[in-house]
Amino acid sequence: MQFRESQAIYLQIADYVCEKILLKEWKVEERIPSVRELAVQLEVNPNTVMRTYEFLQQQEIIHNQRGIGYFVSPTALKNAQQYRKNDFVEKDLPQVFRTMYLLGMEPDELKPRFDKFKKQHFA
Amino acid sequence: MIQIQNLHFGYRKKKIFTGLSLKLEAGHIYGLLGKNGTGKSTLLKNMAGLLFPKEGNVSVLGFNPAKRQPAFLQDIFMVPEEFYLPDVPIEQLVKHTAPFYPKFNDDQFNRFITEFDIPRSNTLQKMSYGQKKKVLISFGLACNTSVLLMDEPTNGLDIMSKSQFRKVIAGCLDENKCIVISTHQVKDLESLIDRVTIIDEGRILFDQTVDDITRKLSFHISFDNDEIKQALFREPSLRGSAVITRNTLGDESKLDLELLYKAIVLNGNAIKSVFNA
């Protein structure tokens, strides 16, 4: 049994970018911060951000327009959601399930809480 | 960019390096780690032409640093741990020193000291050690040299300044620049360096990119007794044990530089076998 203490920094940055896109703070077809801008903002090595951007290009979440910069791809929302979902289901959910099992909780109990949470934060 | 072959160096009877070889390339930030007295500062000084090798070759930017040729000196800057700055206003320091560095950029210098909250009108004598250090770091970065050596740059910096330091460094690395930072404050620089170089007993004990490290090794907390027993390195922590294992799942975890450093120094062969395979 492993705790996912934390992922490699380049993956943490990928999560950060996906979150910006899923929250629509960064919109489809818009330019996103350059490698250097994001490195300065997050206080990380620019090579690490470069690796994140290459990774997100493979996932077809962002794309590069030579000489101009990086843009949010038309398919970004779908792909970012899929990527984060796989990650969540494979890595975070087992932890939640384990805790639920230990505490004798069933999924039905979650439904009203989840609805309330959505109302509070995203309504 | 920097090549060191079979470097021998010592102070009087004390031998520091006995055949050290190392190659540093442009476009990276190297974290130089090692115990106290293993020669981190000595190595930087050999690169900068401040100390001369007893034996072996040091080549920086194609120059022999010991010759101290002007074309070499104007393209390298070192921020030492202990330094002396004359008792003059910042303005005069810039006026008298910047002409030695053809790529010095005054706008950048202003930006950096503003970022560090230091008014340009200040006089150096009235500043604390930390403030002087920030002036020196800003000056060194504004010189835009291809090689930038920094010895314990975050020593003496307060919490805000450490964060500003990381921002400033992140913004100035480019593919033509090689930055070497020697440090004990690994937490300050963990997210900044992309290559880890550890020296011990006069030699390079370990030298790998952070990408390769996280591809091959997994850093996590474990509760599994078998896994803990078989780990390449283990350390009890508040919950479970912090372990380093081979990365077999393909997921990359965050490098724990402090743990890696301990592992290399205490059980180096186990870790190195993963990289030599």
Cβ-defined contact of A40 to B192 (cutoff 8 Å): no
B249 closest CA partner among B210, B274, B214, B273: B214
Would you put residue A5 in left (φ > 0), alpha (ψ -120 to 50) or beta? Answer: alpha
Three-state DSSP state, B178 = strand
- For chains A and B, CB pairs below 8 A equal 74
* Complex ipTM: 0.85
Q: Are B32 and B153 in contact (CB under 8 A)?
A: no
- Among B163, B171, B255, the residue with its CB nearest the CB of A36 is B171
pLDDT digits (tens, 9 = 90+) for B12-22: 888 899 889 99
| B224 touching chain A per CB within 8 A | yes
Q: What is this structure's pTM?
A: 0.88
Residue A43 contacts B, CB cutoff 8 Å: yes
Least Cα distance to B150 among B178, B119, B113, B174 occurs for B178
Question: Is residue A1 over pLDDT 60?
Answer: no
Domain A9-122 fold: Arc Repressor Mutant, subunit A (1.10.10)
Domains annotated on chain B, with CATH: 2-201 (3.40.50.300), 210-276 (no CATH)
Report whether B169 contacts B200 (CB < 8 A). no
Q: Which two tokens stand for residue B92?
A: 């005069």
CB contact under 8 A, A11 and B252: yes
> In a structure prediction context, what are the per-residue pLDDT tens digits for chain B, which is 277 residues long?
999 999 999 888 888 998 899 999 999 999 999 888 888 999 999 999 999 999 999 999 999 999 999 999 999 999 999 898 888 999 999 999 999 999 999 999 999 999 999 988 888 888 888 999 999 999 999 999 999 999 999 998 999 999 999 999 999 999 999 999 999 888 889 899 999 999 988 889 999 999 999 999 999 888 888 888 888 999 988 778 889 999 988 788 899 999 999 999 888 888 888 888 6
Here the contacts of A38-41 (C-beta below 8 Å, separation 24 or greater) are A38/A13, A39/B170, A39/B171, A39/B173, A40/B167, A40/B170, A40/B171, A41/B167
Instruction: Kindly write down the DSSP assignment for every residue of A53-85, as one continuous string.
Output: HHHHHHTTSEEEETTTEEEE-TTHHHHHHHHHH
- Nearby residues of B15 by Cβ (< 8 Å), 6 or more positions away: B8, B9, B202
| Chain segment B113-164, per-residue pLDDT in tens | 999 999 888 888 888 889 999 999 999 999 999 999 999 999 989 999 999 9
Look up tokens 């910006």; give the residue: A20
